Amino acid sequence: MINEKLEAAFNDQINKELYSEYLYLAMKIYFKEQNLQGFVNWFDVQVQEEHAHAMGMFDYLDERGGKIVLEAIDKPEVKGNDILSIFEQVLEHEEYVTSRINHLADVADETKDRAALNFLNWYIKEQVEEEANVGGLLATLRLIGDDKKALLMLDKELAARTFVQPVIG
Ligand code: OFO
């Protein structure tokens, strides 16, 4: 049986992962409007990944006999209105998610739940990858600047990204 405080922290993180899914779905709209289909595809994959992250925790909480409680998902707020500021927000958001995953791991540590800590290691590693991917993309976008041709080349590259169902835990 899972500790109540840890159960609440897992439920909170499920909500945050679903919010991430919702936020990336909202960002995808901008790229659809710009007709940048590679970016649209990148966000599609991102949306599926976030859904998988939420479901990984959902299934884990269930497996541990915890009570799953779904709260309302906040309205997604896309702050910027250009590619660079949207990706700055993506990085900022991933850094925030990292801090929440670390918090969840702290609660697992506090409650001496070694199994949960072991499970959460997957998410800790995933966040390193997420931040590195987005950070890399952001650096490329800064290099591209106003170069439309280079942007279209990047768009083509992003069209090749595919979703791979992660094996979590
Ligand atoms: Fe779930 O990793 Fe992004 O937010």
Ligand 1 atom nearest to 50, measured from its CA: 1
pLDDT digits (tens, 9 = 90+) for 6-65: 999 999 999 999 999 999 999 999 999 999 999 999 999 999 999 999 999 999 999 999
Q: What average pLDDT is seen over the chain?
A: 98
CA of 64 to the centre of ligand 1 (A): 22
Confidence of residue 76 (pLDDT cuts 50, 70, 90): very high
Is the entire prediction scored with pTM above 0.95?
Answer: yes
Q: Residue 36 region, left (φ>0) first, then alpha (ψ -120 to 50), else beta?
A: beta
State how far the Cα of 22 lies from the Cα of 14, in Å rounded to an integer.
Answer: 12
Non-local (6+) Cβ contacts of 112 within 8 A are none
Q: Is residue 53 within 6 Å of ligand 1 at its C-beta?
A: yes
pLDDT digits (tens, 9 = 90+) for 54-70: 999 999 999 999 999 99
Q: Which of 13, 20, 25, 42 to mutate to test the pocket of ligand 1 (most atoms within 8 A of CB)?
A: 20
pLDDT digits (tens, 9 = 90+) for 89-134: 999 999 999 999 999 999 999 999 999 999 999 999 999 999 999 9
State how far the Cα of 162 lies from the Cα of 158, in Å rounded to an integer.
Answer: 9
